[in-house]
Amino acid sequence: MSSSADKPTRVQGSPMDQVSVRRANLALVLAEVRSSGPASRAAVARGTGLTRATVSSLVGELLERGLVREADFHQDGSVGRPGRHLELDGRTVAALGLEVNSRYLAACSVDLAGRTLQERRLVHDATTRGAEETLRALASLAVELIEEAGRAGVRVAGVGVAVPGPVAVATGRVHSAPNLHWDDVPVAERLRTLAALPDDLGVVVDNEANLAALAEWDHSHAGVADLMYVTGEAGMGAGIVSAGRLLRGASGFSGELGHVQIDPDGARCACGRTGCLETKVALPAALRTAAPDLLPEGEQGGPGRDPQEQAAELMRRAASGDPRTLAGLDEIGRWLGTGLSIPVNLLNPEVIVLGGYFAAVAPYLLPSAMRELRARVVAGDAALCRVTGSVFGFSAAVRGAAGVIVEEVFADPGRVER
């Protein structure tokens, strides 16, 4: 049976060109194999509404691009010669994710099935080294993984970059990143130049919390329409999924939960304002409150200190019953619950996912956080959402950065060379 997807459609009164139609159908077939595979060509034709001849041609191209493969022979319930199953392949196609954090750089490459191919983590103090030196180090990390993938016969289809701060996604420019001391930095442009990336290799830059939210939603909460991811590292931010879509806001700068003023008489924030939620609950605040010896006087995170190691030490001390740590985390939890009540009352999410160090010490934060949240939710228990720790922890943002490229490939398989 043929459907309208087989025929040229009209866009704003003009016939869509055949190349665009084919690329759209290529994505349609790949999506069907992704969701329903292993499946025969006949089953794909039924699922997409395309003719068998069209599907056969499109499958041939997807095979050439290394995006699907043929598996065992399968009798499709009809008389005649058995066909072969089609299943997602993508082992030779990788998506590269990069992350800039105030204390480290991270990289992760995954194939189209989400399998991790490479991972790197490099201690790097971006707050003192500046944007240019940090981007040079990030470019070196990208080149290393791209070259390593090439030697293994894997092509990198694109690069996603996670940065803490508001990002103009269309241009890949960081508007401001207070905890990095960056203002108006053309991350995509500089990374492309420094890593000598080819023009046809896409580079996507986005806020770290947005990307982490997408990673968590896709991996563990795909059936949830309304989710908020809250990151807790040197700063604090939120990524919001509303009605199954990332909520960016009018200018793309939504989610700056950490810079909501919560204590007018509080400490000065890295953004220049006073009493931001970030000053109460971000990792530096937790260290000052619960384990001050881990935070040298006058330093945000201690030179060369990895936030993941600091979070692990907080958890160790809490688990051993250290009174200072337990009291400190209880206080952090109360402030966190107060802060979370704002988006819960405004947005009514179904799930809040705690990332960064919040996830590591969640057992000791959540009791006081939930008590405070319950007391502040206007609609009462009916609006009280589930709060859980991240499955990816500190790697959520870099996984999300790679995941964005994976989704771009599924949206346009033609971007992968034959």
The residue ranking higher by pLDDT, 84 or 127, is: 127
290-300: average pLDDT? 71
Q: In angstroms, rounded to a whole number, what is the distance separating the alpha carbons of residues 405 and 97? A: 8
| Residue-averaged pLDDT of the chain | 89
What's the pLDDT score for residue 71?
A: 81
* pLDDT tens, position by position, 196-220: 999 989 999 999 999 999 999 988 8
Q: In angstroms, rounded to a whole number, what is the distance separating the alpha carbons of residues 251 and 166? A: 10
Does pLDDT of 289 surpass 60?
Answer: yes
Q: In angstroms, rounded to a whole number, what is the distance separating the alpha carbons of residues 186 and 108? A: 22
Confidence of residue 3 (pLDDT cuts 50, 70, 90): very low
What's the pLDDT score for residue 19?
A: 83
Q: Give the angle subtended at the CA of 311 by the CAs of 128 and 270, to the nearest 5°.
A: 40
Does pLDDT of 81 surpass 50?
Answer: yes
Q: In angstroms, rounded to a whole number, what is the distance separating the alpha carbons of residues 238 and 243? A: 16
Confidence of residue 324 (pLDDT cuts 50, 70, 90): very high
What's the pLDDT score for residue 156?
A: 95
Helix (H, G, I), strand (E, B) or coil at 381: helix
Helix crossing, 283-290 with 307-319: angle to 10°? 40
What's the pLDDT score for residue 198?
A: 93
Domains of the chain, earliest start first: 4-88 (1.10.10.10), 93-211+397-413 (3.30.420.40), 222-392 (3.30.420.40)
What's the pLDDT score for residue 7?
A: 38
What's the pLDDT score for residue 252?
A: 83
Does pLDDT of 14 surpass 60?
Answer: no
Q: In angstroms, rounded to a whole number, what is the distance separating the alpha carbons of residues 68 and 89? A: 4
* pLDDT tens, position by position, 117-164: 999 999 999 999 999 999 999 999 999 999 999 999 999 999 999 999
Confidence of residue 413 (pLDDT cuts 50, 70, 90): very high
pTM here is 0.88
What's the pLDDT score for residue 166?
A: 92
Confidence of residue 12 (pLDDT cuts 50, 70, 90): very low
Does pLDDT of 238 surpass 70?
Answer: yes
Does pLDDT of 361 surpass 60?
Answer: yes
